[in-house]
Amino acid sequence: MNTELFGIIALFVLTVALAVPFGKYIAKVYGGEKTLLDPVFSPLEKGFYRLSGIRPNVEMNWKQHLSALLTINMVWFFLGMFVLMNQGWLPLNPDGNPSQSADLAFNTTISFVVNCNLQHYSGETGMSYLGQLFLMFLQFVTAGTGMAAAAVVIIALKERTTEKLGNFYDLFVKSCTRILLPVSFVIALILLANGTPMTFNGKDTMYTMQGDTVQVSTGPVAAFVPIKHVGTNGGGFFGANSAHPLENPNYATNMTEMFGQMIIPLAMIFALGYYVKRRRLSWMIFGVMTLGFLLLTIPTIVTELHGNPKIAQMGVDMGSGAMEGKETRFGTTASAFWSIATTVISTGSINSMHDSFMPVSGLTQMLSMMTNAFYGGAGAGILNFYIFIILAVFISGLMVGRTPELMGKKIEAREMKIAMIVALLHPLLILAATALGVSMPELTAGTLNNPGFHGFSEMLYEYTSSAANNGSGFEGLGDNTPWWNISCGIVLILSRFIPIIGPVAIAGILASKKHVPESAGTLKTDTGTFGIMVFAVIVIITALSFFPALTLGPIAEYFSMQ
């Protein structure tokens, strides 16, 4: 246990230590400054711009940014539907996997287009290699989309009056080439060195210790898995995701993959501070997010190490913790840490079965996604937290009797209306969709693997994961049905694009306003006091929105086990 605990502490410290200089590099990329990778990627980007006719130096206002973002995502959606509904006869299908049904293709395509990667299929049998490669493409570009949107907000925070906020396509391409691709390449080399397959052959024959013969799926796994984590996507090549020994062979790859999913969300925090030249603001944001992360992680680890009291009453040794659904290769502590890291960061990958975790752990996993503000996804984390900063500034301004200001720009009714819509949309989608599922048992009852409180948690988790662009699940749920595919798909669309549209719109509106110089009465947003205010706003909104639903699921299940 002590070794496992030391491992995750060392991993977190190392990730933070590397995120600071990496954030400085990201700020230089978005600021158009020279970097060490310019000789490698500048010719590649110029060639792409020349072929596509894109003029990267033509700056856009916030409306043009959103128009480009939504248009390109619509194109990817139609391409994805075509590939998945026709993969059975298209090339690169050595195992003869069938085409997906219309409702499953809709859910899968939407899920990968919105960077959620909710998977209602098993990769070995539900996807051809062509389908997997197209999904890998989406994992790059959708992460780049979120990072480009966050870059627009960061650019808008600079202290000047402007309507020009860079070029969307330039920010998008640089996010993919200069940030996502190099990190993914390094992680891919580590996975290859540890035995992750990289082939276009079909199933491979393997022999077990007992002498049995089994057919094991292979494929271009080493290329797929790195961007799954670096882009905070989470969609696994195999159905078991990172619990699969070919997707995550050993403890070293387990730590590498955890690092991969944490590095960019953390680095984006520091990139903001370097870009706007307010590093204290970055540390305030990091402090609030880390406080929330630790308050969710520590109870999860402690609970899982204590094990299941019902099993302990049967005389079973709980010295290794609650090991049901966990890999002995990784252990209880590392699995518990991963479960919170992947839900807080909105990656959604798993190295253990969340459905098997203790009720308190299920509660913290859902709270990680319900708050949707601690670290977050690649780019999306900054966008979500920006909304809470707007709310906290407005409330603080009212408390001291001053017009709310952020970075020298007055926050008025229009911005507050947008912020409140975005903040309340998240609980609305989760709770309304869950209520519909509960009220129509003829559509959902047969899909639940567990009755009672845990069955309700499975439903609540599914919609929470969809709304948080996470993609993990309480996989006792039989979710490949028209109801789950379509309802989750609708939640996925709304929960991805409105939280992007809202922050970008607010940032664009504020950037166009006259800059007001700081004075003695200006509210400082880079202090610990303001950080506490932001944290309080996050906790209050989450508690008021979700506590009643949580009492019907994991909280009730916890008390039923005592």
Q: Return the amino acid letter for 498.
A: I
In the chain, the number of structural domains is 1
Phi, psi at 97, each rounded to 5° = -70, 140
Q: How many CA atoms lie within 13 A of 510 on its CB side?
A: 31
Four-residue CA torsion sign, 549, 555, 561, 562? negative
Adjacent-strand bridge partners of 409 = 406
Whether the CB-CB separation of 225 and 237 falls below 8 Å is answered with: yes
Q: How far apart are CA 150 and CA 145, in angstroms?
A: 9
Q: Directed axis angle between helix 251-276 and helix 2-31, to 10°?
A: 40
pLDDT of residue 517: 79
pLDDT 10s per residue in the chain (562 long)? 567 899 999 999 999 999 999 999 999 999 999 999 999 999 999 999 999 899 999 999 999 999 999 999 999 999 999 999 999 999 999 999 999 999 999 999 999 999 999 999 998 899 999 999 999 999 999 999 999 999 999 999 987 888 999 999 999 999 999 999 999 999 999 999 999 999 999 888 888 888 888 888 899 999 999 999 999 999 999 999 999 999 999 999 999 999 999 999 999 999 999 999 999 999 999 999 999 999 999 999 999 999 888 888 888 888 888 898 899 889 899 999 999 999 999 999 999 999 999 999 999 999 999 999 999 998 889 999 999 999 999 998 888 777 788 888 889 899 999 999 999 999 999 999 999 999 988 888 788 888 889 989 999 999 999 999 999 988 778 889 999 999 999 999 999 999 999 999 999 999 999 888 777 667 788 899 999 999 999 999 999 999 999 999 999 999 988 7
The 3-state secondary structure of 122-171, one letter per residue:
CHHHHCCHHHHHHHHHHHHHHHHHHHHHHHHHHHHCCCCCCCCCCCHHHH
Q: Which of 527, 281, 541, 498 is nearest to 391 (CA)?
A: 541
**71 SS3 class:** helix
Residue 499 lies in a domain: no
Q: How far apart are CA 49 and CA 31, in angstroms?
A: 18
Whether the CB-CB separation of 183 and 264 falls below 8 Å is answered with: yes
What pTM was computed for the model?
Answer: 0.94
Residue 253 lies in a domain: yes
Alpha-carbon torsion angle 253, 257, 259, 262, nearest 10: -170
Residue 211 lies in a domain: yes
pLDDT of residue 259: 96
Whether the CB-CB separation of 506 and 154 falls below 8 Å is answered with: no
Q: Name residues whose C-beta falls within 8 Å of residue 152's C-beta, 6 or more positions apart in sequence.
A: 62, 65, 165, 166, 168, 171, 504, 507, 508
Residue 551 lies in a domain: no
Residue 197 lies in a domain: yes
Residue 313 lies in a domain: no
Whether the CB-CB separation of 40 and 287 falls below 8 Å is answered with: no
Q: Return the amino acid letter for 183.
A: V
- What are the distances in angstroms from CA 250 to CA 8, 9, 240, 336, 477? 15, 18, 15, 16, 28
Count of CB atoms situated within 10 Å of the CB of 148:
28
Q: Return the amino acid letter for 117.
A: N
Expressed as residue numbers, the domain containing 33 is: 15-277
Count of CB atoms situated within 10 Å of the CB of 550:
21
pLDDT of residue 2: 65
Measure CA of the first residue to CA of the last residue in the chain; give whole Å: 25
